[in-house]
Amino acid sequence: MADQDVLEELVMEVERFVRLGWRWRAKAENAPLNGAEIRALVIVYRHSPISASALAEKMGVGRPATSSVLKRLKDLRYVGQENDPADHRRHLLTVTLEGQMMVDQVRATRRAIWEQHLKALSESDQQQMLKLLQKVSNSAGAEPSKISPAGSRRQGPSC
């Protein structure tokens, strides 16, 4: 198989794998949250207290994109806010007890589903997969504008 064919197959398999990650959310019983809301809740849980701007950054979206997600999480009483002791003009997001229970439910559901998906791999294969995914994730830090479609780095504009 030529390098381009391997790359295309790899891209298709990674994209299929990522889609599997979204499907578990649809299987969660009584999960009142969509994917963005689950992601935001888990980020707030892991990094609490966190500002809305920092949440948006961790989600890889602009601040306005998080406002409807945060409103819904607050309406459901999964997320609360408190004044930032360092700057009383800012608010910090925290997870409520209800939010912690939802995170526990989400994690349990996700874990059960992924255990099913990954049982085809030995523990050694899973460790190898983790190392390879981390290597790819770490290399993904290159700015897309600096990479040409062929994957080679672009040189600055020629004058």
Q: What are the pLDDT digits (tens) for 1-12?
A: 567 788 888 888
More confident: 152 or 60? 60
For the stretch 10-34, pLDDT in tens is 888 877 777 766 566 555 555 678 8
Question: What percentage of residues in the chain have a pLDDT greater than 90?
Answer: 36
Residue-level pLDDT at 157? 41
Q: Which two tokens stand for residue 137?
A: 């994730």
For the stretch 98-135, pLDDT in tens is 999 999 988 888 888 788 888 899 999 989 988 988 88
- Give the range among 80-89, 92-101, 118-127, 147-156 with minimum mean pLDDT: 147-156
